[in-house]
Amino acid sequence: MKLRRAACACALAMSALAPASLCAQMPNLGSMIPDKAAVLEQAKKLVAELVAMKQNPKLSPAEKGKVDALLPQATQLNSELAKPQPPSRFAELAGQLGDLQKQVSALKAGSN
């Protein structure tokens, strides 16, 4: 009987400690989600960059066409980022911003 109580007490103690030790090993999810203000600022800069590129007389017609295609996407993304979003949707939008930034960087590198 004492052995059974000791085993139950041990099992109870282990189950109480297990979640704490598991949580200690998990990364902080808050640190993995980018800061909304920083992402929104990047989106605004991207829109401003595209507007400036559109007005650049050195761009070829093909490059202007790419800018014309990217500008509405960047503007829409900027609007979505300004709205309250659940973390999963915000992370998705931040990923889309990164993709647009890569496209704009490639466009800028091609125009220089």
Is residue 82 predicted with pLDDT exceeding 70?
Answer: yes
Greatest alpha-carbon pair distance for the chain in Å reads: 90
Looking at per-residue pLDDT, the higher value among 82 and 30 belongs to 82
For residue range 27-72, list pLDDT tens digits in order. 445 555 678 999 999 999 999 999 999 999 988 999 999 999 999 9
* CB 100 within 8 Å of CB 81: no
Average pLDDT of 8-28? 46
Is pLDDT at 8 greater than 80 in this prediction?
no
Global pTM reads 0.68
Is the pLDDT at 25 greater than 60, yes or no? Answer: no
| DSSP states of 13-38 | HHHHHHHHHHHHHS--HHHHSPPHHH
